[in-house]
Amino acid sequence: MSKILVVDDETSIRKTFEIFLSKEGHQTFLAESVEEALTLFKEQDLDLIITDIIMPEISGMDLLDTIKSKNPDIPVIIMTGEPTVDTAKLAVRSNAYDYLIKPVAKETLLKVIKYALEKKELLDKKNQLEDENKQYRDNLERLVQQRTEALQKAVNGTIETIANILEHKDPYTAGHEYRVGILSLAIARKMGLNEQQQKSVYFAGYLHDIGKLLIASEILSKPGKLTRGEYEVIKEHVYSSYELTQNIQLPYSISDIILQHHERMNGSGYPNGLKNNEISIEARVLAVADVIEAMSSHRPYRPGFEISVALSEIKEKSGILFDRQVVEATVSLFEQDHFDFSDIKKLSVMI
Residues serving a catalytic function are 212
3 state SS for the chain? CCEEEEECCCHHHHHHHHHHHHHCCCEEEEECCHHHHHHHHHHCCCCEEEEECCCCCCCHHHHHHHHHHHCCCCCEEEEECCCCHHHHHHHHHCCCCEEEECCCCHHHHHHHHHHHHHHHHHHHHHHHHHHHHHHHHHHHHHHHHHHHHHHHHHHHHHHHHHHHHHHHHCHHHCCHHHHHHHHHHHHHHHHCCCHHHHHHHHHHHHHCCHHHHHCCHHHHCCCCCCCHHHHHHHHCHHHHHHHHHCCCCCCCCCHHHHHHCCCCCCCCCCCCCCCHHHCCHHHHHHHHHHHHHHHHCCECCECCCCHHHHHHHHHHCECCCECHHHHHHHHHHHHCCCCCHHHCCCCCCCC
Query: CB pairs under 8 A, 24+ apart, for 276-280?
Result: 279/323, 280/256
Rounded Cα–Cα distance for residues 138 and 149 (Å): 16
